[in-house]
Amino acid sequence: MTQYKATKGLLIDLDGTLYHGINRIPGADTLIQALKERHIPYMFVTNNSSRTAEGVAKHLSEMGIPASAEEVCTSSLAAAKYIGEESPGAAVAMLGEEGLRQALLQAGLRIVVEKPQYVVQGIDRSFTYETLAQAVHWIREGANYVLTNPDLLLPSDRGLVPGAGALSASIQAAAAAEPVIIGKPASHLMKYATDRLGISPAEATVIGDNMRTDIAAGAAAGCQTILVLTGLTTEENLQANIQAAGLEPDIICKELYELTELLTTRA
């Protein structure tokens, strides 16, 4: 563990860090309000590809956590920017939901169903065998494969359910192709968020509850990292998660009130 160094911006995870589903984690509203009052720059950074930035902000606001769409970075937005910069106006076949669709269109990309240059895939709860067959055909014909996020499981009202990474596993197996991964633990999403803040990754601090996604992505991008024991990682499984991730966070905070004090007294 190292001593906290105030940086120029914070990249804050959502599920498991600020809330569980529809339930706000104690201190989440206080944390964000304190950052606003002290003019500490931050972005909400999520692997969730299904919601638009407006939808994410609405979800936060309904739980009493101040948020606007301009403060939200999703894996869909980062994926769309990645493709748009590599091939402006590209023809893209989409396997995903509304958040991904809007992100692609806003980036000036063309959503097609024939001869795509890219297949971009996120969570798709209408995924079928035909979807799989079509995606595999496009990729084997030469389309570039981009995955918004590799999460194998997602929390839901009925427990854990398959995520975008689980769907991708079938595509990768059949197409014999690996995608470009945008979301955590890859560094693309972190770079997108720091670009939005106008800083370099080395000038940012990543805050999250998941060693293998949030903290790993922050480390891969060269950010300072703060692990909060509010979600997936707890005091009980901390060492097991550190071992599984193969790295350590720079700072550990047990709860959000401790994090708020750390960030606002060292700013």
Active site residues: 13, 15
Residue 155: Cβ within 10 Å count: 15
What 8-state DSSP symbol labels residue 178?
P
Q: Where are the beta strands (DSSP E) in the chain?
A: 9-12, 19-20, 23-24, 42-46, 72-74, 91-95, 110-111, 118-121, 144-147, 153-156, 159-162, 180-181, 204-208, 224-228, 251-253
Q: Where are the beta strands (DSSP E) in 126-247?
A: 144-147, 153-156, 159-162, 180-181, 204-208, 224-228
- Token readout for 36 is 């606003």
Contacts of 252-256 with CB under 8 Å at 24 or more apart are 252/1, 252/226, 252/227, 252/228, 253/226, 253/227, 253/228, 253/229, 254/228, 254/229, 255/26, 255/27, 255/228, 255/229, 255/230, 256/18, 256/25, 256/26, 256/27, 256/28, 256/30, 256/31, 256/228, 256/230
Among 207, 210, 212, smallest CA distance to 251 is for: 207
Q: Are 73 and 13 in contact (CB under 8 A)?
A: no
What 8-state DSSP symbol labels residue 25?
P
- If you search the block for the tokens 């079509």, which residue do you land on? 134
